[in-house]
Amino acid sequence: MPLLKVNGKQVEVNERVSIAAMLMNLGLAARKSVGGEMRGPLCGMGICFECRVTVDGVAHVRGCQLMVREGMEMWTDEG
Ligand code: FES
């Protein structure tokens, strides 16, 4: 099982899942709306952009389009 960091905390996650699915399994939202509401994956296929997170320093990565891998570091708006 890959080890990675989410919001500065080391977590062990399932293999072969998307970042969006992993965040849902951890009970985390991906981002905040301009009104401050927590948001998470909606479409799961790269269209809605509600799953955006920062991955390895790259902002606005769509979590539903990228699989988890060992050593990744990501930040959500909850972090
Ligand atoms: S869930 Fe819609 S773009 Fe990722």
Could you give the 3-state DSSP secondary structure of residue 72? Answer: coil
C-beta 31 within 6 A of ligand 1: no
The atom of ligand 1 lying closest to the CA of 47 is: 3
pTM (2 d.p.): 0.90
> For residue 2, is pLDDT > 90?
no
Burial class (CB in 10 A: 0-12, 13-18, 19+), 74: buried
**Domain coordinates in residue numbering, the chain:** 3-75
pLDDT in tens, 43-66: 999 999 999 999 999 999 999 999
Structure confidence at residue 1 (pLDDT): 86
Q: 3-75 is classed in which CATH architecture?
A: Roll (3.10)
Alpha carbon dihedral 70, 72, 76, 79, in 10-degree steps, equals 90
Which is the closest atom of ligand 1 to the Cα of 48? 2
Is residue 2 within 8 Å of residue 68, measured between CB atoms?
Answer: yes
